[in-house]
């Protein structure tokens, strides 16, 4: 049995849940975070409210962070990255780099929870003009405004009369090589659409989608609610391109269920950008020699029945480093990984 601490890499929802789980099981954890703060993407990208429960993101994540930082069993190292590993199962020597200085930590097992990056919509889908038009923004840009309890046309600072969301930007697209569904964007767009209608009740809000994937209870908690109570307009059909006419953006596509082409003027277009494996996830896959699954996320070995174990003994994964994940997935996997990493430490 190894008494060395368990290393958790990445301090987002999955990593925080994992570190707290390890500490609650009575073992030491070391949580290494690249940024100078904990909380992961919800904090970094300034999310307004969490999906699906509309809880204030900063407040909710703050509770998770405090539970970890207040726990004497967890050592938090921020502004740091893991650069290399030596040794094997049960006794790994991990190099942690903090700016110019570095140190080596002996650990018994590892949990990689390095998450995802949002797809950069200017990178390959130029048809949406993300870098050309000020009023074409992403879900995270929208979240930043909503966090300030406002929603305006970035070009003028005025309240928009019409807003649309375009789903599956950077997802489900063989052309750009991302064939997966990013799982959360339909729910998040629905949530954001409701928040926009709360601020601007008279605005027309549209969601253009390929398939509306508000799975589980998100169906009526988010999708039906947005449609029935907030009169958000859901139109099956993806926007082909965006052009500019005067002050307005023109979205062009097909209203498929009505069987007619459409060209609608919009004040603000929100691109529902999907998930990609983060830089950190790719780097950690390299450092720990973890095979990737076919989409480029870190591969696990148990199929649907073991979502956290990798083919490298003693190295576990949690959250969106394994594929698109919502918060429920991420914290559940964090807890599962904590349990399995502790069990591994006890046996080795």
Partner 1 sequence: MARSIYRDRKYKDVPYEVKLDLFNQVKQDIRWKDFMKGCFECGVCVGACPTARFCDFSPRVITQTMSREDVDTFYELMNDMIWDCSQCFSSTRCPRKNSPGGIVTIMREVAVKNGLESAKDALKTYSRIIYKVMSTGTQVAPDMLQPDFFPDWGPNVKVVAENLDVWRRAIPPDTLHTTELAWDVSDKTKFQLYMIFKLTGNLELIEQVDEGIYDILGETIEELMDEYGVEADEVENILEEN
**By the criterion CB under 8 A, which residues form the site for partner 1?**
212, 223-224, 227-228, 231, 233-236, 255, 257-262, 264
**In angstroms, what is the minimal distance from the CB of 232 to partner 1?**
9
Task: Tell me whether residue 98 or residue 198 sits nearer to partner 1 (CB atom).
Answer: 198
The residue count of the chain comes to: 348
Helix (H, G, I), strand (E, B) or coil at 121: coil
**In angstroms, what is the minimal distance from the CB of 214 to partner 1?**
10
DSSP state of 173: B
Task: Tell me whether residue 194 or residue 285 sits nearer to partner 1 (CB atom).
Answer: 194
**In angstroms, what is the minimal distance from the CB of 228 to partner 1?**
4
What whole-number distance in Å separates Cα of residue 16 and Cα of residue 29? 11
Task: Tell me whether residue 102 or residue 261 sits nearer to partner 1 (CB atom).
Answer: 261
What whole-number distance in Å separates Cα of residue 138 and Cα of residue 156? 17
Task: Tell me whether residue 63 or residue 229 sits nearer to partner 1 (CB atom).
Answer: 229
Task: Tell me whether residue 90 or residue 237 sits nearer to partner 1 (CB atom).
Answer: 237
By C-alpha distance, which of 125, 179, 140 is closest to 43?
140
Element (H, E) at 64: helix 57-69
**In angstroms, what is the minimal distance from the CB of 224 to partner 1?**
6
Element (H, E) at 197: helix 185-199
**In angstroms, what is the minimal distance from the CB of 236 to partner 1?**
6
Tokens of 226: 């947005």
Only one residue has tokens 């909710």, namely 60
């Amino acid at each position: 049995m190894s008494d060395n601490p368990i290393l958790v890499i990445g301090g987002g929802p999955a990593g925080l849940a994992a570190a707290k789980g390890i500490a609650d099981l009575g073992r030491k954890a070391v949580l290494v975070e690249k940024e100078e703060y904990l909380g992961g993407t919800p904090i970094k990208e300034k999310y307004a409210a969490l999906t699906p429960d509309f809880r204030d993101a900063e407040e909710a994540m703050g509770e998770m962070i405090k539970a970890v930082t207040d726990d004497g069993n967890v050592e938090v190292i921020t502004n740091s990255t893991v650069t290399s590993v030596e040794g094997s199962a049960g006794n790994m020597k991990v190099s942690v780099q903090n700016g110019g200085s570095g140190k080596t930590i002996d650990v018994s097992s590892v949990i990689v929870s390095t998450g995802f990056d949002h797809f950069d919509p200017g990178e390959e889908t130029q048809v949406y003009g993300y870098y050309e038009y000020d009023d074409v923004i992403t879900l995270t840009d929208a979240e930043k405004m909503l966090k300030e309890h406002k929603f305006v046309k970035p070009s003028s600072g005025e309240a928009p009369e019409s807003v649309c969301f375009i789903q599956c930007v950077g997802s489900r697209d063989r052309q750009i090589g991302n064939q997966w569904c990013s799982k959360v964007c339909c729910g998040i767009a629905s949530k954001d659409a409701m928040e926009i209608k709360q601020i601007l009740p008279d605005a027309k809000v549209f969601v253009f989608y390929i398939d509306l994937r508000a799975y589980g209870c998100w169906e009526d908690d988010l999708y039906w609610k947005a449609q029935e109570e907030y009169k958000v307009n859901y139109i099956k059909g993806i926007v082909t391109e965006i052009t500019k006419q005067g002050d307005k953006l023109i979205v062009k596509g097909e209203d498929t269920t009505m069987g007619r082409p459409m060209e609608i003027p919009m004040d603000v277009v929100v691109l529902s950008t999907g998930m990609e494996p983060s830089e950190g996830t790719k780097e950690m896959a390299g450092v720990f020699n973890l095979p990737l699954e076919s989409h480029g996320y870190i591969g696990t070995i148990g199929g649907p029945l073991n979502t956290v174990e990798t083919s490298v003994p003693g190295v576990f994964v949690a959250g969106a480093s394994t594929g698109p994940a919502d918060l429920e997935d991420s914290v559940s996997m964090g807890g599962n990984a904590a349990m399995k990493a502790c069990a591994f430490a006890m046996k080795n």
